[in-house]
Amino acid sequence: MGLTDGSQAAGGDGGAVRDARRSADSRPGSGLAAHVRAYVALSKPRVIELLLITTIPVMFVAASGVPPLGTALATLVFGTMSAASANAINCFFDRDIDQEMRRTRRRPVAMAKVTPRGALIYGLVLAAGSTAGFAWLVNPLSAALSAFAILFYIFVYTLLLKRRTAQNVVWGGIAGCMPVLIGWSAITDRLDWAPFVLFLVVFFWTPPHTWALAMRYREDYAAAKVPMLPVVATDQRVLLECVLYSWATVATSLMLWPVADTTPFYPLVALVLGAILLVQAHRLLWRVRAGATGPRLSTMGFFHLSNAYLALLFSAVTLDPLLAGLVN
């Protein structure tokens, strides 16, 4: 089923759309393929990609080089299942507000491509499978951290914070920081200061990244009655907080240098990337203070830049222990 069909179905599903859907489902294999695609979309693969970007580099730092292949693959597989389970259960609980927002109304449960019961069962099965897999093939600590991340995302962020406070993504973002700890514990079977530094990098990075997107979809969040900061605060207040959190992100990223005893390569990359991030954050604040509003503010540029910042920073985290091995 295409996106056009899905959006029309969400808007009323007229006879022509129903006929087209029946025709598509009658073709051999088309129904199964559409069903598989719907459950893949339910897992929010783009979100999972971002989580893996932070998991893999930490394993390189923990191993002081290339991590054991079997452990790394198991961590990635069960980490993917863990994130997918949390995302699917989130879609189950948020199906009402997902239907109200342009950005989310094409999600499988909101479009009735997957039933709420199907989404919940899918999420619970993945949660049980990922936790058991971590415990069996990795270690109990990683299993416990993975289970905590799922429970925190569902019960603290989705059910407690998201619809009640503008600080939802600040504290709810803790769930998105957990892959850093999981990746480290998978290799070392313990926790140390280095993964907590990277945990804080992701923690401080999350609010400005998310608020930049929320400013673009402010009307959606308002219609769904989700009190994201851009809904309840002025643009100047939001962008001031984005600047402050960006400074905290960059400062924390530099702490990895002494804590993990990196080569000069990592702090140099962190400084350059941090400077670019801060310039863009300050530029947005200056523009809103000069009177820019609405589309002229163009916060999506900062959103995409913050994605690139995190990906490149953690790429430097991956490369640094490999460079240290070459030098030594």
| pLDDT tens-digit map of 168-178 | 999 999 999 99
Task: Residue 308: give its domain's CATH number.
Answer: 1.20.120
Residue 102 lies in a domain: no
pLDDT at 294: 64
Cα distances (angstroms) measured from residue 273 to each of 149, 214, 242, 321: 28, 23, 16, 19
DSSP state of 228: -
| Ramachandran quadrant class, 136 (left: phi over 0; alpha: psi -120 to 50; beta: rest) | alpha
199 residue type, one letter = F
Number of structural domains found in the chain: 1
Positions in the chain whose pLDDT score sits under 50: 1-29
pLDDT at 308: 96
Residue 241 lies in a domain: yes
pLDDT at 4: 32
At 92-136, the pLDDT tens digits run 999 999 998 888 888 999 999 999 999 999 999 999 999 999 999
Residue 82 lies in a domain: no
Residue 297 lies in a domain: yes
pLDDT at 21: 38
Structural domain including 215 reads 192-328
pLDDT at 30: 55
Question: Of all helices (H) and strands (E), which one includes residue 289?
Answer: helix 265-289
Residue 237 lies in a domain: yes
How many angstroms separate the CA atoms of 109 and 91, rounded? Answer: 7
Residue 162 lies in a domain: no
pLDDT at 48: 87
Residue 173 lies in a domain: no
How many angstroms separate the CA atoms of 158 and 98, rounded? Answer: 12
pLDDT at 293: 72
Residue 201 lies in a domain: yes
